Amino acid sequence: MPLTIRTCLSADIQQLSWQLTGVDLPSQGISGQGTLQAQWREEQKQLELNQLNLQANDSTLTGQASVILGNEPQWNMNLQFDKLNLENLLPAQAAPAARGEVVQQQGQAQAKPQRPVIASSLEQPDYNGLRGFSADILLKANSVHWRGMDFTQVTSQMTNKNGLLTNRRAER
């Protein structure tokens, strides 16, 4: 009879702290703390994060997440935010002058020349990072602050299938 060893590692993390600084982060960086329970199942190549309770800058997150590793990792997330302040988690938007756009002074009435849409110099985001994995994500937030706007009771249920991102439900 062959011997079968199943590896399952568990951790109960009661104090986790971090500080992130650098490019593509807010100028003040991101710092936070939290607690969580983690479990690794070697046979399934699965990592589970349960009882997530994290704080980053002035945003708070609870929930659970898991990933099954393989040729195409499969993520499952159920995350709730009491407060999600994206302005303190994402880099600041560049000012129009920094992007090469003409900034009109108040009181000037200059007509902006009409250009065909194809002549627009808008940068397209690179979505290649969505390829190579699948995900089923449920996000809920009691309060969201983004670009000076406040939203309450925000819900989004999304799936990603190797780069095809579908928002099955978005509510506010």
Q: For 161-167, what is the mean pLDDT?
A: 90
**High-pLDDT (> 70) share of the chain, %:** 82
Average pLDDT over residues 24-40: 94
Alpha-carbon gap, residue 109 to 50, rounded angstroms? 57
Q: Residue 13 carries which side chain, given as an amino acid letter?
A: I
The whole-angstrom separation of Cα 148 and Cα 152 is: 14
Rounded Cα gap, residues 150 and 11, in angstroms: 37
Residue at token pair 């699948």: 134
Average pLDDT of the residues in 117-136 = 76
What pLDDT score does 101 carry? 53
Query: Which of the four pLDDT bands, split at 50, 70 and 90, describes residue 18?
Result: very high
Instruction: Check pLDDT > 90 for residue 127.
Output: no
Lowest mean pLDDT among 77-86, 112-121, 163-172: 112-121
Say what the pLDDT of residue 171 is: 75
pTM confidence score: 0.73
Distance set, CA 118 to CA 41, 113, 114, 121, 126 (Å): 50, 14, 12, 8, 18
Q: How far is CA 19 from CA 14, 33, 34, 84, 96, in A?
A: 17, 9, 12, 18, 30
